[in-house]
Structure 1
Amino acid sequence: MEGKEEDVNVRANKFPERQPIGTAAQTEGKDYKEPPPAPFFEPGELKSWSFYRAGIAEFIATFLFLYVTVLTVMGVKRAPNMCSSVGIQGIAWAFGGMIFALVYCTAGISGGHINPAVTFGLFLARKLSLTGALFYIVMQCLGAICGAGVVKGFQPGPYQVNGGGANMVAHGYTKGSGLGAEIIGTFVLVYTVFSATDSKRSARDSHVPILAPLPIGFAVFWVHLATIPITGTGINPARSLGAAIIYNKDHAWDEHWIFWVGPFIGAALAALYHQIVVRAIPFKSKT
Structure 2
Amino acid sequence: MVAFKGVCTKPFWRAVSAEFLATLIFVLLSLGSTISWPASEGSASPVNLVLISLCFGLSIATMVQCFGHISGGHLNPAVTVAMVVTRKLSLAKATFYLSAQCLGAIAGAGILYLVTPNVLGVNSNITVGHALVVETVITFELIFTVFATCDPKRTDQNGSAGLAIGLSVAIGHFFAVPYTGASMNPARSFGPAVITNSWDNHWVYWVAPLLGGVLAAALYEYLFCPNPVTKKPRGETLSKDALRVPGVTHSIIPLNPPSL
TM-score by length of 2: 0.83
Q: State the identity as a percent.
A: 39
- Equivalent position amino acid for 1:281 in 2: P
Partner residue, 1:215: 164
- Equivalent position amino acid for 1:227 in 2: A
Match of residue 190, structure 1, among 113, 131, 143: 143
Match of residue 138, structure 1, among 99, 113, 120: 99
Give the secondary structure class of the aligned counterpart of 2:74: coil
2:182 and 2:230 map into 1 onto residues whose CA distance is 36
1:70: how far off? 1.6
1:87 maps to 2:34:
no
Partner residue, 2:73: 112
Larger radius of gyration: 1
Q: Mark the runs of 5 or more structure 2 residues left unpaired by the alignment.
A: 232-260
1:262 maps to 2:208:
yes
Partner residue, 2:27: 66
1:191 and 1:45 map into 2 onto residues whose CA distance is 28
Match of residue 97, structure 1, among 38, 58, 68: 58
Once superposed, what is the RMSD of the aligned Cα atoms?
1.9
Give the secondary structure class of the aligned counterpart of 2:6: helix
Larger fraction in helix: 1
On the 8 A contact 1:190/1:271 being kept in 2, the answer is: yes
TM-score by length of 1: 0.75
Note the alpha carbon deviations across 1:206-242, whole angstroms, 9 max, x for none: 746xx11011000000000100000001110000000
1:200 maps to 2:153:
yes
1:148: how far off? 0.5
Partner residue, 1:271: 217
- More RCO (CA 8 Å, sep 6+): 2
Partner residue, 1:179: 132
1:281 and 1:64 map into 2 onto residues whose CA distance is 35
Partner residue, 1:6: none
Summarize the Cα distance change of 1:262–1:132 in structure 2 as closer, same or farther, 3 Å threshold. same
On the 8 A contact 1:167/1:256 being kept in 2, the answer is: no
Number of residue pairs aligned between Structure 1 and Structure 2: 227
- Equivalent position amino acid for 2:22 in 1: A
1:149 maps to 2:149:
no
On the 8 A contact 1:99/1:213 being kept in 2, the answer is: yes
Partner residue, 2:86: 125
Note the alpha carbon deviations across 1:45-90, whole angstroms, 9 max, x for none: 222111110000000000000110121111xx23349x81341110
Q: Mark the runs of 5 or more structure 1 residues left unpaired by the alignment.
A: 1-39
Give the secondary structure class of the aligned counterpart of 2:72: coil
Partner residue, 2:236: none
- Equivalent position amino acid for 2:177 in 1: I
On the 8 A contact 1:101/1:213 being kept in 2, the answer is: yes
- Equivalent position amino acid for 2:213 in 1: A
Summarize the Cα distance change of 1:116–1:137 in structure 2 as closer, same or farther, 3 Å threshold. same
